[in-house]
Structure formats: structure tokens, C-alpha cells
Amino acid sequence: MAEKQDDIDVAEEKNNKTTKILVIVIAVLLLAVIGFGVFMLTGNGENEPADQTEPVKQAPVYYTIEEPFIVNFSEQSGGQVRYMQVKMKVMARSQAVIDAVKTHLPAIQHELLMLLYSQNYDGLLTSEGTQALQQACLETINRILKSETSLENELEAVYFTSFLMQ
């Protein structure tokens, strides 16, 4: 009976050793996975200074130009009465730019009316024509803001919220 007990002790010692080895292997693998995760999260080991990261874009600020722009094309259309009505919103990333738009709104409205009046009715019938007009409106407003203020930021977009032509 003593011999049977010795065999059991030897088998238990083998199980104990394999369990210890298994725990060590799992611990090493777990540390390797954690180390790889930290390596990936810290920028793949690149030593970048913290101040060279891309700045976070500010939330957009929208402003609606309440009065629609109405332009008459009677001279271009061979005596037929044709007109265009445009409503627009502007977008910037700074409230200071929107405040400048509000302050200089009379000058902006005047310049936009002159720009719209100088357009060709037939050219505005295409999507390319309206997109070019949208870009021209943005450039006109930014030119006015640049000449009237010392703001470094400018409008980012002009959106036509209504565009009617008859």
C-alpha cells in the first residue's frame, strides 16, 4: 500500500509543476499583450512633442442673413421679367467672426447685391454656376471682413438656404 501512495505523490508533483508553468506562461503572455496595447496607444513609440498635435476644430457657429436677396434680370432676358431670390446662412468657427458679420451686415448686403446683380441668368441655371456664385459670395464677405476688421479667422462657408429663379 505504501507503493501506491508514492505513485500518487509523484503524480501530484507533476500536476503542480505543470500548473505553475502554465500560470507563468499566461502571466508572460498577458504582460506582452498589455505592453503592446500601451505601445499602440502612445503613438507607436514615436517621440512627438505634445504641442505638435493637430488642433481640435471648434464647433461651427451659424448666422442667418434674415433678408432675402432679390435681383431683377429684366435687361438680360430680352424684355421678359426674370428674377432671382437667394436666402443664405454663413458659418464660421468663431463667434467673433459672426459678430463681425452682424456689425458689417449693411456693407456685406450691398456687396452681395452688386455681385448677384452682375450674374448671368443663364449661367446660374447649372449647378456649376450656383457653386461658383456660392464661392464668390464667400470670397466677397471675407474680403469685406478682412478690410474692416483685424480678425485672423474668416468665414468658412456660405450656404444657400433658398435659391429661386423665374
Q: In this predicted structure, what is the pLDDT of residue 9?
A: 54
Q: In this predicted structure, what is the pLDDT of residue 25?
A: 84
Confidence of residue 101 (pLDDT cuts 50, 70, 90): very high
pLDDT in tens, 9-57: 555 566 778 888 888 888 888 888 888 878 878 765 555 555 567 777 8
Q: Name the pTM for this structure.
A: 0.64
The CATH number of the domain covering residues in 61-165: 3.30.479.30
Distances (CA, A) of 62 to 85, 89, 99, 150, 159: 20, 7, 11, 20, 10
Q: In this predicted structure, what is the pLDDT of residue 50?
A: 54
